[in-house]
Amino acid sequence: MIDGSPNTARQVVLLMTDTTRWDMLGCYRSHGIRTPFLDDLASDGLRFNRAYPSSPLCAPARSTLFTGTWPHTNGVWTNGYALGLDSRTIGQRLQDRGLSTAYVGKWHLDGTDYFGSGRPAPGWDPAYWYDGRNYLDDLSPIERRRSRDPGTNDDPGLTAEFTFAHRCSDRAIEFLARHGHNDFLLVVSYDEPHHPSISPRPYSTMYRDLEFTSGPDGPDGVGSKPELQALWAEGHPIRDPQARQAYRTYLLGAQTFVDAEIGRVLEAVDKFAPDAMVLYTSDHGDALQSHRLWAKGPAIYDEIARVPLIVRWPGRIPAGSVDEHPISHIDIAPTLLDVFGLDTPPFLPGASLIPVLTGTGRPASEYVFVEFGRYDMDPDGFGGLQLMRAVFDGRHKLSVNLLDTDELYDLEADPHEMVNLIDSPAHTDARNRLHDRLLTWMHDTRDPFRGYQWEGREWRNDARSASWSGWGLIRPRPDDGYAKRVIDYFTGQEMSETSRGPWRGGK
């Protein structure tokens, strides 16, 4: 817990965009895309260079940001699923302690559809709730269609006021004007630059001639990558070169547009809550034809699974700081609890980043983990079930694709992740070390998809023989501060441990 010195802010503004990969911001890479307000935010605070979501997919990534738990724990392991009834959001944990909490923008965690239910989720002030369904309800039937049609970007009469981003900013500014003297958590969750990437001119046309690439030309190593990636590359609906250029142009233009909308909110922060912690991130990236892929999915490539993470905290974080440690979104919720002077419940697997932010310590874990289940529960396509668990230590990335070929990359020698080293004898030690850590993580976090199949990979000659008993332990749910203690099946008494064995008998 941080100390209670006079300059300790008890106000947090969490800003996030959708589909902003790490190098779509000028402060990360010089490429011609203009993001002046987020670049200024980074120059005033700390930029994490290697931040990763829990999953490179909208809803699962958001589930971790706002509960502090893994998607396989909270129930949102794919788009289209709602948070489990035993999953409490950071809004609930803070609101239950008398703090003001407001959520404006895309939620995607109620299990209805992409836009949401229009009803405030528990833990967030109903006066400021504004999700995609609320936005659509404000539009006429014709305007609804325009809001979902990328062709709307070509309309010279389109104004900022029409967009979801602008209306979210308006509500955030109103909240700051009314609550600037109170302790609060304000989340502003933009849908932009996610498809259909609606933005007015000049944003929608400013990058028509920009070449935006991140890796060398040509395909990845032939025959060494998972089949799912070949199917993914062949199956994307955007096939026409002109349509692909339009997709890229609109996405990048919407990024500069949403940067301007964030600038409006930051101006209000400076006016009404100048000491607040401001945190900016994204849920995932977009391959944009790197590795011949588009959008996001079951891969841990940096273009898809590496996101910007910037934190400004006046008086606490030195301006212009940069951190190179691998960082996971799993640590965001504990960090927010720490800012408000609350301990992290044992149920949450992450740890506060306050020591890292203030330069007094390192991240609690040297590994980040990323998972994937399926793209969405509704469509039958998008590859269907693609179970992936991955781990990264700052140099080597291991992806275990349960139903396909596994991957290992050495980012020091191969920063663009072109050569799959999963069968490389020279990398056996690094691969097996990461694999052991990944299996332990799956066990410790009660991953419901854990089992002997993850351990007995064809490249793991020293794997244990398959066993019906697995690890031989029982993993009851830990305390979360809300639900009653788990009862032992065999004794009817409260469990005293969160891991025990063997299966029958004992507490």
pLDDT score of 5: 41
CB 54 within 8 A of CB 72: no
pLDDT score of 3: 42
Q: Quote the CA–CA distance of 353 and 356 in Å, as a whole number.
A: 5
Interval 71-83 mean pLDDT: 96
Identify the structural domains of the chain with CATH numbers, from first to last.
11-370 (3.40.720.10), 472-507 (no CATH)
CA-closest candidate to residue 393, choices 361, 369, 358, 419: 369
Both tokens assigned to 87: 């999953």
Close Cβ partners of 436 (under 8 Å, ≥ 6 residues apart): none
What are 162-205's pLDDT values in tens digits? 999 999 999 999 999 999 999 999 999 999 999 999 999 999 99
Split at pLDDT 50, 70, 90, the class of 222 is very low
Torsion, Cα 95 101 105 110, to 10 degrees, reads: 0
Do the bridges between strand 277-282 and strand 307-312 make them parallel or antiparallel, or are there none, so unpaired? antiparallel
Do the bridges between strand 184-193 and strand 11-18 make them parallel or antiparallel, or are there none, so unpaired? parallel
* % residues pLDDT > 70 (the chain): 95
Do the bridges between strand 396-401 and strand 385-392 make them parallel or antiparallel, or are there none, so unpaired? antiparallel
SS3 111: coil
pLDDT score of 417: 95
CA angle 368, 372, 374 (to 5 degrees): 170
- Residue that has been written with the tokens 């209805």 in this structure: 112
Interval 346-369 mean pLDDT: 93
Split at pLDDT 50, 70, 90, the class of 502 is low
CA-closest candidate to residue 373, choices 358, 365, 384, 359: 384
pLDDT score of 506: 37
pLDDT score of 507: 33
What are 280-326's pLDDT values in tens digits? 999 999 999 899 898 999 999 999 999 999 999 999 999 999 999 99
In this model, does residue 402 exceed pLDDT 90? yes
DSSP character at residue 94:
H
Catalytic machinery residues: 58, 108
